[in-house]
Amino acid sequence: MAKVKVGVAGYGVIGQRLADGVALQEDMELVGVADVAPTLAIRALKEKGMPYKLYSAMPENQQLFDKLNIPIAGTLEDLVQNVDIMLDATSAGVGAKNKELYKRYGKKAVFQGGEKNSVADVFFHGYANYEQGLGQDFLKLTSCNTTGLIRAVDCIDRKVGVEKVAITIIRRVADPGDYHRGLTNALQVDKAPSHQAVDLMTIMPHIDATGILVHAPVTHGHIITVLAKTKQKISKETLLEYFRENARIRVVRLEDGFLGNASLFKYARDLGNPRGDMYEIAVWEESIVHSGDDIMFAINIPQESDVIPENIDAIRAALRMQNDRMEAVGLTNKYLGMRPNKGV
């Protein structure tokens, strides 16, 4: 069976990781990546020997690439014509403009969380609503925080049902290497409810969700506390069992040295994961407590990499590579090297 041909538009924080993730899928072929200028990521790609073909999304910048001897395989339009589906990881708003190009050539596309929901036919999550994405032309992923939050809530909901969640998000202020947010020494509170809670209800409309978000002057990972009202009361041990069954959730313990977001980032680097990435969200065993019949826990969101598996799920759904949800996410997990985690 021929491999599905995939292109990536935007070779930034997410685009780099999408390219790597697609390249690992044995039933997909990464045709190439596109960007507008020789950014540091593109320069690193060249220094690594150009493992991926590079296409120019802004042909008028050709001389900038020529000056650095960076080979260009063609234009973004050329790339689009040679793929079955595009993963659009461009800056917010650019994807909506690129959509017109995708439509012109009858190509499907997957957009990231920064785009408006109106850009897509379906607001998509691999575990929670895979079936709604089947055969659709345009899918939009949830943000990194919402992606991880839905993983955890969906994991519980499919076992015992969830009626309501209340969340608090301690949000990293910028990605590593970013300077546009400035140098800060403050916490900033957003107006409630946070968009992550609203987005969860869009994906899982049967759950009542609300939340508060606090920006923190750190760069490696968000932390979310979740207070869940379940339809059946569950014990801490049962909840841990549910989480450990899920390949995209890693159970960790404070006792073992996982003290926070920085511990998890360092652990990912010690594992040898490229860029210190971790596809899994992490839940702290010691954070799980009861509040009456409700249950509370805290999760870590590796914001640069946790959406990669769901993007690949979206390819599988849009192209109907697998109609069964668990078969699809299982293949994504397998090719990414993820395994059900039984604790560290």
Render pLDDT for 100-144 as a digit per residue (tens, 0 to 9).
Answer: 999 999 999 999 999 999 999 999 999 999 999 999 999 999 999
Mean pLDDT of 170-198: 80
Query: What CA–CA distance (Å, rounded) separates 277 from 297?
Result: 23
Confidence of residue 321 (pLDDT cuts 50, 70, 90): very high
Q: Pull the structure tokens for residue 21.
A: 């993730």
For residue 20, pLDDT over 70 is answered with: yes
- Residue ranges at the known binding site for NAD(+): 35
The DSSP 8-state label assigned to residue 24 in this structure reads: H
Assigned token pair, 57: 């999304």
pLDDT of residue 344: 42
DSSP 19: H
Bridge partners (DSSP) listed for residue 283: 251, 299
Contact by Cβ (8 Å): 122, 313: no
Task: List all residues 6 or more positions away from 51 whose beta carbon is below 8 Å from its beta carbon.
Answer: 23, 45
Instruction: Kindly report the average pLDDT of the chain as a whole number.
Output: 94
The pLDDT assigned to 203 comes to 95
Q: 221-278: per-residue pLDDT in tens?
A: 889 999 999 999 999 999 999 999 999 999 999 999 999 999 999 999 999 999 999 9
CA 335 to each of CA 26, 42, 149, 243, 323: distance values in angstroms, whole numbers, following the listed order:
7, 25, 23, 21, 18
The pLDDT of residue 342 is above 60: no
Q: What is the pLDDT of residues 145-157, one digit of tens each?
A: 999 999 999 999 9
Contact 118, 202 (CB under 8 A): no
Percentage of the residues of the chain whose pLDDT score is greater than 70 = 96
Encoded tokens for 98: 């690129």
Provide the 3-class DSSP secondary structure of residue 162: strand
Which residues have CB under 8 Å from 206's CB, separation 6+? none
Residues with Cβ within 8 Å of residue 57, at least 6 apart in sequence: 9, 10, 34, 35, 36, 75, 76, 90
Q: What is the pLDDT of residue 187?
A: 87
* Per-residue buried b or exposed e for 51-90, using 16+ beta carbons within 10 Å of the residue's own CB: ebbbbbbeeeeeeebeeeebebbbbbebbbbbbbbbbbbb
Give the pLDDT band (50/70/90) at residue 343.
very low
Report the candidate in 307, 337, 313, 333 with the shortest Cα–Cα distance to residue 85.
313
Which pLDDT value is given to residue 173?
75
148, two tokens = 């991880």
The DSSP bridge pattern shows strands 4-9 and 28-35 to be parallel
For each of the domains in the chain, give its residue range(s) and CATH number, in order of start. 4-142+307-336 (3.40.50.720), 144-301 (3.30.360.10)
Specify the 3-state DSSP secondary structure of 83: coil
Catalogue the active-site residues. 144
Task: Label the pairing between strands 138-141 and 108-111.
Answer: parallel
Q: Which residues are annotated as a binding site?
A: 35
Coil vs helix vs strand at 81: helix
Phi, psi of 95 (to 5 degrees): -60, -40
pLDDT exceeds 80 at position 76: yes
> 313: which strand partners?
none
Token duo for residue 27:
């039933």
Q: Positive or negative, the Cα torsion across 129, 14, 139, 197?
A: positive
Instruction: Tell me how far apart the alpha carbons of residues 344 and 250 are, in angstroms, rounded to a whole number.
Output: 8
